Amino acid sequence: MIPIPLRVDDLPAVPGAACAGRQPLWDDHIHGEPDDQREARHHRARAICSRCPALENCRSAAAVLDRFATGIWAGELHDPHARRKSADHTRAAS
Ligand code: SF4
């Protein structure tokens, strides 16, 4: 089975989510987006997460989803591209 990465707004079970309807601010990557703009976007998302009433529920959901979570969840970046690169690097080194 191929894992399907989930964005936080794919989950209806995070009531009060401050990010609801405000994607793609929390997306991990946007095609063609320069790195500095991506960093600034994630900084804005993290600031909103820090005041979100659903923060603890979101953190718990991200922990359960583990590698299926993608984008910013509870102020933390879940980046499948970085995980893939890391896995490739580990395989190449062994
Ligand atoms: S903590 Fe952040 S990612 Fe999680 S529901 Fe709130 S705004 Fe969305």
pLDDT tens, residue by residue, 66-86? 888 899 999 999 987 776 666
Read off the pLDDT of residues 24-33 as tens digits, 9 standing for 90 and up: 999 999 999 9
Q: Give pTM, 2 decimals.
A: 0.80
- Quick one: pLDDT band at residue 93, thresholds 50, 70, 90? confident
Pocket flag, ligand 1, residue 65 (CB < 6 Å):
no
Q: Are 69 and 17 in contact (CB under 8 A)?
A: no
Q: Bigger pLDDT: 65 or 8? A: 65
Q: Rounded to whole angstroms, how far apart are CA atoms 70 and 80?
A: 6
Pocket flag, ligand 1, residue 73 (CB < 6 Å):
yes
Q: What is the dihedral of CA 76, 77, 82, 83, to 10 degrees?
A: 50
